[in-house]
């Protein structure tokens, strides 16, 4: 990768407007994600966290503004196919194909995009399963045979299948017990460090924000009102940010990081 490419933000959102009919979700929203960082995205109910994720991924057309992934406008003609090869996504609950085994789920994007010999495809899928922290034997299981935490890891394995530059995670620790959530956070950090990923996390988990996020983007008032490390957000005057990070749960998460 040359220096010019390294200077291009993995994700750049400028002047974004999204709406459903007359209901405006985002207005003049700006966000720039740095290469190699883990960015958490938080916001109250109705602030459009999932809408932002879907718009960045090109699953929802913006009603105004511009979204770029690795310098490419997601509204360009070939954007979806291109994004599919350079971006990995783990939606809530893993969003796996229930009728396929874990191995077959991980192989699916390789078969669609890479067109490799089947033996090579199978080897790569087994490697991604191990990278996600699952035993290789999990590859033979169907999603219904996995625990919630294992399904999420299988979703990560599939998201990593094509060696993406950006990994999107939608509420990755939702439904996990504290130990499982902490282990998943550590997995994300390890993968970022080992693979050089840029990670975009939609979450409400304060422990995740404190444990692994380099910066946190806060959605409020139809836009991103702050992007900063948690330590800086704790000093914010914005009412929602203060309530979120300085409330009882925020103080507990901060204390947990200090230990």
Query: Closest Cα to residue 253, out of 212, 214, 202?
Result: 212
Q: What is the pLDDT of residues 3-25, one digit of tens each?
A: 445 678 999 999 999 999 999 99
Cα–Cα dist 148/162, whole Å: 24
Q: Which domain holds residue 213?
A: 3-70+165-258
Mean pLDDT across 87-100: 86
64-69 β-sheet, strand order: 23-33, 11-20, 64-69, 72-73
Q: What is the pLDDT of residues 151-204, one digit of tens each?
A: 999 999 999 999 999 999 999 999 999 999 999 999 999 999 999 999 999 999
Please identify, among 164, 190, 224, the residue that sits at the C-terminal boundary of a domain. Answer: 164
Q: Is 84 inside a domain boundary?
A: no
Q: Is 8 inside a domain boundary?
A: yes
Cα–Cα dist 68/55, whole Å: 10
Q: Where are the beta strands (DSSP E) in 123-236?
A: 166-170, 198-202, 215-220, 223-228
Q: Is 76 inside a domain boundary?
A: no
N-term to C-term CA, the chain: 39
Cα–Cα dist 167/148, whole Å: 20
Does 202 share its domain with 156? no
Please identify, among 143, 164, 185, the residue that sits at the C-terminal boundary of a domain. Answer: 164
């Amino acid at each position: 990768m040359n220096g010019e490419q390294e200077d291009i933000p993995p994700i750049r959102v400028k002047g974004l407007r999204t709406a459903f009919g007359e209901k405006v979700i985002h207005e003049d929203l700006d966000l720039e994600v740095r290469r190699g960082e883990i960015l958490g995205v938080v916001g109250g109910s109705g602030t459009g966290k999932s809408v932002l994720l879907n718009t960045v991924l090109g699953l929802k057309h913006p009603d105004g503004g511009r979204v770029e992934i690795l310098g490419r406008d997601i509204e360009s003609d070939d954007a979806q196919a291109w994004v599919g090869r350079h971006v990995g996504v783990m939606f809530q609950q893993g969003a796996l194909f229930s009728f396929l085994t874990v191995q077959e789920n991980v192989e699916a994007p390789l078969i669609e995009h890479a067109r490799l010999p089947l033996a090579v495809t199978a080897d790569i899928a087994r490697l991604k399963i191990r990278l996600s922290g699952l035993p290789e034997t999990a590859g033979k299981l169907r999603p219904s045979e996995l625990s919630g935490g294992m399904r999420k890891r299988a979703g990560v394995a599939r998201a990593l299948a094509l060696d993406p530059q950006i990994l999107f995670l939608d509420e990755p620790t939702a439904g996990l017990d504290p130990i499982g959530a902490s282990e998943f956070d550590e997995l994300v950090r390890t993968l970022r460090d080992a693979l050089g990923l840029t990670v975009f996390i939609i979450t409400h988990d304060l422990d995740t924000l404190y444990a692994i996020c380099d910066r946190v983007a806060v959605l409020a008032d139809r836009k991103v009102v702050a992007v900063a490390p948690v330590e800086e957000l704790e000093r914010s005057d914005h009412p929602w940010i203060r309530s979120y990070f300085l409330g009882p749960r925020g103080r507990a998460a901060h204390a947990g990081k200090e230990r």
